[in-house]
């Protein structure tokens, strides 16, 4: 699988077819029992979102212009490494580059904010606005130009990434099964024009972007599980 480079994929990468509903946080299973969906009685997503962003997140999740969901097959990894990658997408991007795989450039703005831009005029700033056991909620704002025939549109996005996992074994390795729900909201007139151009391919493009988002993190985690001696080499800060 290729790491996301197109604006559409990057929108999904950053935080975030259609019609997906908000996923509720999952409980972490004990031991090596199969990873199962969360019980319906669990807390609601917004219970875990910071009050300062709760209304904004709710507005996007309840009325997205485009939404998608993706789930990965379970895989073995060190959970501390995977969680580090989620918290440091700039280091994840740098790790792919060090592996000689073309990847988007992500900048750490400090205070938990990250930034991405491309030569076509797309740019997004995002941050973590909620967290629960083995899960994060990202919120992003910016503008995206999905192609030469598409208008540049202001966007807001939310992604809910959950990574339920088994308890670590004697070597500290767990089996993880991440899933992500992504929601993209943009100006209705411009979005309608862009979606008309994309036609029926738009939901599949969104789904592929969500799949790439998961692989962006899991691909490095899987590699480092097989080559733990490369952790410091791949995840060290830029310039080291």
Residue 20, pLDDT score = 30
Segment among 115-119, 172-176, 178-182, 205-209 with least mean pLDDT: 205-209
Residue 161, pLDDT score = 96
In the predicted structure, residue 1 carries a pLDDT above the cut 50:
no
Q: What is the fold, at CATH topology level, of the domain defined by 7-24+47-225?
A: Alpha-D-Glucose-1,6-Bisphosphate; Chain A, domain 4 (3.30.530)
37 vs 89, residue with greater confidence: 89
- CA dist 194 and 197 (Å) reads 5
With cut-offs at 50, 70 and 90, classify the pLDDT of residue 157: very high
Domain segments of the chain as ranges? 7-24+47-225
In the predicted structure, residue 40 carries a pLDDT above the cut 60:
no
In the predicted structure, residue 143 carries a pLDDT above the cut 90:
no
With cut-offs at 50, 70 and 90, classify the pLDDT of residue 188: low
pTM (2 d.p.) = 0.80
- CA dist 77 and 81 (Å) reads 8
Instruction: Read off the pLDDT of each residue in 28-39 and give the average, rounded to a whole number.
Output: 48
Q: Where are the beta strands (DSSP E) in the chain?
A: 66-71, 75-77, 107-110, 113-117, 123-132, 135-144, 153-162, 174-176, 179-186
In the predicted structure, residue 151 carries a pLDDT above the cut 80:
no
Residue 17, pLDDT score = 28
In the predicted structure, residue 127 carries a pLDDT above the cut 60:
yes
Return mean pLDDT, the chain: 80
- CA dist 145 and 8 (Å) reads 8
């Amino acid at each position: 699988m290729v790491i996301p480079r197109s604006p559409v994929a990057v929108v999904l990468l950053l935080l975030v077819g259609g019609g997906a509903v908000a996923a509720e946080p999952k409980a972490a299973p004990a031991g090596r029992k199969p990873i199962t969906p969360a019980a319906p009685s669990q807390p609601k997503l917004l219970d875990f979102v910071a009050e300062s962003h709760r209304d904004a997140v709710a507005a996007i999740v309840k009325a997205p212009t485009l939404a998608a969901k993706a789930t990965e097959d379970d895989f073995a990894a060190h959970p501390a490494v995977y969680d580090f990658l989620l918290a440091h997408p700039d280091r994840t991007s740098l790790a792919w580059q060090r592996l000689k795989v073309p990847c988007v450039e992500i900048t750490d703005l400090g205070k938990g904010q990250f930034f991405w831009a491309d030569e076509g005029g797309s740019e997004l700033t995002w941050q973590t606005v909620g967290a629960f056991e083995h899960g994060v909620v990202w919120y992003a704002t910016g503008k995206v130009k999905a192609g030469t025939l598409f208008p540049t549109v202001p966007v807001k996005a939310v992604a809910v990434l959950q990574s339920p996992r088994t308890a670590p074994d004697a070597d500290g390795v767990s089996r993880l099964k991440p899933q992500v729900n992504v929601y993209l909201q943009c100006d209705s007139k411009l979005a309608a024009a862009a979606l008309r151009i994309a036609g029926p391919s738009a939901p599949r493009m969104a789904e592929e972007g969500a799949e790439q988002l998961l692989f962006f993190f899991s691909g490095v985690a899987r590699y480092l599980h097989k080559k733990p001696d490369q952790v410091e080499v791949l995840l060290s800060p830029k310039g080291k």
